[in-house]
A and B are shown apart, each in its own frame.
Chain A
Amino acid sequence: MARQIPLIPEARVDLLLIADMIEQGARVLDVGCGDGALLRHLRLQRGVEGRGVDMSWANVNTCVAGGLSVVQGNADHDLGTYPDQAFDVVILSQTLQATANPRDVLTHMLRIGKRAIVSFPNFAHWRIRWQILAWGRMPVTETIGYRWYDTPNIHLCTIRDFVELAGEVGARIERALPLDRLGRPFRETLPVSIANIMAPQALFVLTKTS
């Protein structure tokens, strides 16, 4: 009996955005795949037999029951075990800021995948700047919805920070998409200085330079 498993929920338009970047039959690794919504979408729409990594047993079990191959683990510990260029695309959606070593994670993504797709909340968004400036409190926003004492987000960064890190790990930025709070892209031509203020989150497509 096939279970009815939800596909990408409406609130995650950023996942649909990612899905549209993936070619038919591509080899995909989704790091922090959650309940597998993106991987299932890719299987149905793109014929992708993807792989996933997620920390929670419940999420892994939902994925396994849906016929996906998903390993309970995390970006810090598991990416190092995949061979070079094992995937066409490695996806890290809204997870980079919660990893112990974002630089190592990004390096491994570029090693094991031909392309890396990374999305993250932008800590330089004007609402965040305003909350610190006006109230002197740690910001809580729609994209970063945790209080300071219970947040898993230990390595928050800004769009400018990420651009710099991408350069340091030898990544070429193929696309840089500033996203609104719902994950809908702004104009791609927005300069970084403006995007870094206006966009609550961003999505980057990287390849390895060489």
Chain B
Amino acid sequence: MGNVIETETVKSSSGMQARREADQPNSLVAQFSASDPLPLDAGVAFQPLTVAYQTYGALNADKSNAVLICHALTGDQHVANTHPVTGKPGWWEIMVGPGKPIDTDRYFVICSNVLGGCLGTTGPASTNPATGEAYGLELPIITIRDMVRAQAKLIDRLGIDSLFCVIGGSMGGMQVLQWAASYPDRVFSAIPIATAARHSAQNIAFHEVGRQAIMADPEWHGGRYLARQAIPAKGLAVARMAAHITYLSEPALQRKFGRELQDRERVTFGFDADFQVESYLRHQGVSFVERFDANSYLYMTRAMDYFDLAGDHGGVLARSFAGTRTRFCVISFSSDWLFPTIDSRQTVHALNAANAAVSFVELASDKGHDAFLLDEPELFATVRGFLEAAARIRGLA
């Protein structure tokens, strides 16, 4: 390794595979033609729309056992199958599968790539049929509500009237809250994890750092890099490195790396990656570039920044949930400083004010925001218990 991160992904096979996934995903796809446009918050009736998704398990005869999983900023629809680009296991196989808390022997699990994503659902890396080139920044700005509207179209297409549960963490949790607010009669139960009903100033600030890193990379070319056979790999890698720190916690970093050196006995008195934590972050940055589109990162971080559920209801969050009959289970993690427990409590207090059936737990973990993706037995116990009870109440076998 040298002083700066090395990103040779443009030519790498996984980099090419990632770019193919935007137009020809290894997923199921739902196409919505020009006659069936998607109304966006930006004021555009967007068309045509493609939604790429994965399903697990079987829909029952009543169509009452569907669980929608909403993925996070850098997640995708490959929840519980081998990832087509990275070859790694699905990002939530620990939670989703036969006999797992989200039990695919009992529930029909759906996860779609979000609007603005880069794994097959229409996003900035998708080819614009009007021009034959990638949308890039021609794509209108996307909001969390737009993502949820696109998911609702998919759920309609699948013939499902009411979802048994909508669950997700982080940006996925924002979608869960938006689902509950936008379609209260279609959500029987909701599990927003490590999330907030509005993005904080600190989080917007971190996102701005990431976006500026991408846009400062000369290879970004004003967002038209795909047409120029380029990728702002260094900018995207730096964005990922900065963001990755916010997903961890100081104790977790200390435990994992401390001040250990990387393959050397002493510091080199230079700017090479002397410390293991530096090497780890560089690896995170480089491997991210191989599977993710830089413009998608811009659009999705923006969607999160714009998210303010109460803003749609006169600044009173409780009004977002007025009259709701959805059963909520709100979960936070004690060491999460990106979406701290206070954010979840605000949601819970709003749900209390709306007389909603809400449960809430703050789980003890020192793994930071990422805890929702990791082996956290208390998380599995809470999700399993809540879903089993909800299934009994809904009359699922």
Chain A residues in contact with chain B, CB under 8 A?
1-2, 49, 51, 57, 60-61, 63-73, 78, 81-83, 86
Contact = CB atoms under 8 A, between A and B. Distances in A.
A86 B357 CA distance: 12
A59 to B, nearest CB: 10
Interface in B270-319: none
B348 A61 contact: no
A60 B385 CA distance: 11
A57 B363 contact: yes
Given A64-B385, A66-B385, A69-B328, 12 more contacts: A51-B357, A57-B364, A57-B378, A64-B329, A64-B382, A65-B384, A67-B393, A68-B389, A69-B357, A71-B360, A72-B360, A86-B355
B82 interface: no
A198 B36 CA distance: 77
A82 B356 CA distance: 10
B348 A71 contact: yes
A68 B355 CA distance: 14
Interface string B366-397: 00000000000010011011101110110000
A63 B389 CA distance: 10
Please report whether the interface of chain B is mostly helix, strand, loop or mixed according to DSSP.
helix
Contacts of A70: 359
Contact of B357 (A49, A57, A81, A82): A49
A69 B327 contact: yes
A53 to B, nearest CB: 9
A195 B171 CA distance: 57
B147 to A, nearest CB: 28
A1 B388 contact: yes
Given A1-B388, A67-B389, A61 B355 contact: no
Contacts of B100: none
Given A57-B378, A61-B378, A64-B386, A71 B392 contact: no
Interface string B317-328: 000000000011
Contacts of B389: 64-68
17 contacts: A1-B388, A57-B362, A57-B364, A57-B378, A60-B359, A61-B382, A63-B359, A64-B329, A64-B382, A69-B359, A72-B360, A73-B348, A73-B360, A78-B349, A82-B352, A82-B353, A83-B353
A169 to B, nearest CB: 21
A78 B352 contact: yes
